[in-house]
Copies of this chain bind each other. A is one copy, B any other.
Amino acid sequence: MKISIKELEKFIKKALLRKYDEKETDLITKVVMFGELSGKTSHGIVRLEGILAEKPKGKPKLISKTKVSSIIVGNGNPGMLIGSLAMDEIIRLAEENSVGFVGARGTFSSSGSLSYYLEKIAKANLIAIIMAQSPESTPPLGGIQPLFGTNPIAFGFPSKNNPFIFDMGTSAISYGALLKAKALGQNIPKDSAIDKDGNMTTDPNKAIDGATLPFVNSYKGAGLAMIVEILAGLWPNAWFTIHNKTAGWGNIFIAMSPTLLMDEHEFKEKLSLMIETVRNSKTKDGNKVRISGEKTIITRDKNLKRGYVEIEEVLINKLRKFIN
């Protein structure tokens, strides 16, 4: 069904306000709306039920570590709230010092689409790297025991036009895609998961009891998964592999001013030149080359302009119980 963006926003806020204060509600709503509007609907209102089921032990706590680094302790608050606080803090640190590091721990849910944070940080004229650790679902290369999360790594850069954003999971399939295939009774792609005995499977049920494989089951995918587990999990003193689970999931936000090495205006001009060079480079069929991250922003802007989104009625009805 069609639902206007304003109405959807009101709906989400009304649900969240039962549990979170106005500022928190506002921050979480923005992340949920970005997922829904940008077509990354697995990070949209489908997450609302989980967010409302969380049991925070208190308010999030910001710990200043050094002039350029802070830790945010989530205290069981939603990943999307902690992600938003980390984003604000990293912009503050990097605007003051040209560089900033924010480690987060103590969440037990997804921080949402990392593209949301990267766009905002890049619009503050900062280069950013974000990594998100999550509970172990992927084994190392050659192993069959889940040790690493699906562990995305994402980069954002300011340019003359839209920020350039690249966001990738280090596992062959996301946990959300597994759950969706299970719910729909579908198979998952070949070579993306193993069962509990380490045999390849396309059955999502067997994969859930087994493990998702690292990206293309190679040392590159597995190595990057471990890098994210170290930087986003171990380093902020969060959950890593089978250790320190009570500390909750971890995130790392790193931001750098282009001015560390180059004039800001020059950086943005040159990046736009690079993007257009890539877009217009030679292809076999004469089509333009797709630029990573653009579809997300274009979809969001298109939906914002027309003022409404399409959402399955069953999902809306399911969520209505939270506001009635």
A residues apposed to B, CB below 8 Å: 65-66, 68-69, 71, 98-99, 101, 103, 127, 139-145, 147, 155, 157, 164, 166, 168, 197-198, 215-216, 218-220, 222-224, 226-227, 229-231, 234-237, 240-243, 256, 258-262, 266-267, 270-271, 273-274, 277-278, 281-284, 287, 289-290, 292
When distances are taken between beta carbons in the complex, the residues of chain B under 8 Å from A224 are: 166, 168
> Are B274 and A65 within 8 A (Cβ)?
no
When distances are taken between beta carbons in the complex, the residues of chain B under 8 Å from A98 are: 66, 68-69
> Are A289 and B142 within 8 A (Cβ)?
yes
CA A258 – CA B277 in complex, angstroms?
38
Partner of A66, one of B69, B229, B234, B260: B260
When distances are taken between beta carbons in the complex, the residues of chain B under 8 Å from A65 are: 260-261
CA A274 – CA B240 in complex, angstroms?
8
Partner of A271, one of B198, B222, B230: B230
Q: Check A227/B155 contact, CB under 8 A, given A215-B220, A267-B234.
A: yes
When distances are taken between beta carbons in the complex, the residues of chain B under 8 Å from A223 are: 166, 168, 292
CA A307 – CA B64 in complex, angstroms?
50
> Are B277 and A101 within 8 A (Cβ)?
no
When distances are taken between beta carbons in the complex, the residues of chain B under 8 Å from A256 are: 101
When distances are taken between beta carbons in the complex, the residues of chain B under 8 Å from A147 are: 277-278, 281
> Are B237 and A141 within 8 A (Cβ)?
no
A interface, over-half SS: mixed
CA A65 – CA B257 in complex, angstroms?
12
> Are B260 and A144 within 8 A (Cβ)?
no
> Are A271 and B216 within 8 A (Cβ)?
no
CA A220 – CA B168 in complex, angstroms?
6
Partner of A261, one of B222, B237, B292: B237
When distances are taken between beta carbons in the complex, the residues of chain B under 8 Å from A142 are: 283, 287, 289-290
For the complex with contacts A198-B284, A226-B274, 5 further pairs of A-B residues with Cβ separation under 8 Å are A145-B281, A147-B278, A168-B223, A235-B262, A241-B277
> Are B283 and A143 within 8 A (Cβ)?
yes
Q: How far is the CB of A170 from chain B (nearest CB, A)?
A: 9
Q: How far is the CB of A14 from chain B (nearest CB, A)?
A: 37
> Are B287 and A66 within 8 A (Cβ)?
no
> Are A101 and B261 within 8 A (Cβ)?
yes
Q: How far is the CB of A223 from chain B (nearest CB, A)?
A: 4
> Are B260 and A69 within 8 A (Cβ)?
yes
Q: Check A227/B166 contact, CB under 8 A, given A216-B218, A261-B101, A261-B236.
A: yes
> Are A261 and B69 within 8 A (Cβ)?
yes
**Can you report 16 A-B residue pairs in the complex whose CB atoms are below 8 A from each other?**
A66-B260, A68-B99, A69-B98, A99-B101, A139-B281, A143-B281, A144-B282, A155-B227, A166-B227, A198-B283, A215-B220, A216-B216, A222-B292, A223-B292, A230-B274, A235-B267
